[in-house]
Structure 1
Amino acid sequence: MPPTSKQIRYTPLAADFKAEEFPFYWLARLHGVYTLEMERALKTVGADIPTFRILMILKQHGVLSISEITLHAVSKLPTITKTVYRLRDDGLVATSYAAHDGRVVEVSLTDAGLALIERMQLATNDIFQRAFAGLTDNQIERLNATLREMLGNLGGL
């Protein structure tokens, strides 16, 4: 489906393009500030963003293969593999070979990983409270739906 004239205005090719009207400008700024805030908060409990991301994915989904974690984390397999083995060495996750395929490494949370999740959640709660201040449930649901649709448009679903 060809873009409408309104959509063309929001692309960098438009003659009247303004960065402040480009959604990816705001997404990039938001991501940058979010990353800085998260790094600062997680450091207080001895964690980092990759640890937070992987442990939270496992908390929600349970036992996953490294490949499945990679899909949820939207990251590269070597990066996730290296991080998972660091987390295993730190006692935060356990790894085992899948019963259905001995080549597949499955990852699960340990009690230490669950305990760190609780500390990370407490350390980062203020960030989420501030980020969503003044937004209604309906606004957040619409934002999620829009972002999900855009991700699908880019083949990320």
Structure 2
Amino acid sequence: MDVKDSPEKHDNTTLGEVGLDQFAPYLMNRIMGRYNAAMQEEMAKLGLTTPQMRSLAVLSVRDGILIRELAVFAVVQQSTLSRALDTLAQNGLVRRQPDPDDSRATRIFLTDSGRAAFQRLWPHMSDAYQAMFAGIDADEKQAFVGTLQKMLKNIRKHDF
């Protein structure tokens, strides 16, 4: 369902009345901003940008996907992703391969070097993830992640 098709109506409440500390998009942006900042030093050591790191992370789980799918999963605009992939390919971390079913489409695969780079980054990603959930019990974490999954389903534009 697209946001504009949402069954809920605008209630004329202002952001000031809601408050930033009660506005979920603001909180999510702050959380992701801190997560990304926590990753900067480790990414810099590997010569990676945030779009490159996200691409390696997605490919570590969904190797060989189409570029347009990678853009969605990595939450990166396709033009930015294209530049990131150019650098990753030049550095030997990914390889492009034409899709066997559609000559216009390209699939992206991690190379052994790309997988090794991600494996060096993963412990830091995991530590930052765990830090976000410090003091939150397993049931609360599971409920939160379930809520995020429902929210994504409500607003996503793709079937994946």
TM over 0.5: yes
Once residues 2 and 129 of structure 1 are traced to their aligned partners in structure 2, the CA distance between those partners, rounded to angstroms, is: 34
Once residues 15 and 66 of structure 2 are traced to their aligned partners in structure 1, the CA distance between those partners, rounded to angstroms, is: 43
Amino acid at match of 1:95: R
What is the RMSD of the two structures over their aligned residues, measured on CA atoms?
A: 2.2
TM alignment of 1:35-50, pairs within 5 A: 35-50=36-51
The alignment's TM-score, normalised by the length of structure 1, stands at 0.84
Q: Which runs of 4+ in 1 moved over 3 A?
A: none
TM alignment of 1:56-135, pairs within 5 A: 56-135=57-136
Once residues 68 and 16 of structure 2 are traced to their aligned partners in structure 1, the CA distance between those partners, rounded to angstroms, is: 42
* CA deviation after TM superposition for structure 1 residue 156, in Å: 4.2
Contact 2:54 2:74 in 1 (8 A): yes
Once residues 18 and 26 of structure 1 are traced to their aligned partners in structure 2, the CA distance between those partners, rounded to angstroms, is: 11
Tell me which residue corresponds to 2:3: none
Once residues 15 and 83 of structure 2 are traced to their aligned partners in structure 1, the CA distance between those partners, rounded to angstroms, is: 42
Contact 1:45 1:123 in 2 (8 A): no
* CA deviation after TM superposition for structure 1 residue 123, in Å: 3.4
* Higher relative contact order, chain-length normalized (CA < 8 Å, sep 6+): 2
* CA deviation after TM superposition for structure 1 residue 12, in Å: 5.2
* CA deviation after TM superposition for structure 1 residue 144, in Å: 1.4
Contact 2:51 2:76 in 1 (8 A): no
Gaps of 5+ in 1: none
Residues 103 and 28 (structure 1), Cα distance of their counterparts in 2 relative to 1, 3 Å cut:
same
* CA deviation after TM superposition for structure 1 residue 147, in Å: 1.4
Task: Deviation per CA, 1:47-101: give whole Å up to 9, x if none.
Answer: 2321221111111112111111012122221111221121111100011111111
Count of matched residue positions in the alignment of Structure 1 and Structure 2:
152
* CA deviation after TM superposition for structure 1 residue 41, in Å: 2.8
Residues 98 and 155 (structure 1), Cα distance of their counterparts in 2 relative to 1, 3 Å cut:
closer
Task: Deviation per CA, 1:98-152: give whole Å up to 9, x if none.
Answer: 1111111111010100110111113333322222222222222211121122222
Once residues 114 and 30 of structure 2 are traced to their aligned partners in structure 1, the CA distance between those partners, rounded to angstroms, is: 30
**Which stretch has the larger CA shift, 90-99 or 14-23?**
14-23
Once residues 155 and 55 of structure 2 are traced to their aligned partners in structure 1, the CA distance between those partners, rounded to angstroms, is: 23
Once residues 13 and 30 of structure 2 are traced to their aligned partners in structure 1, the CA distance between those partners, rounded to angstroms, is: 17
Residues 102 and 129 (structure 1), Cα distance of their counterparts in 2 relative to 1, 3 Å cut:
same
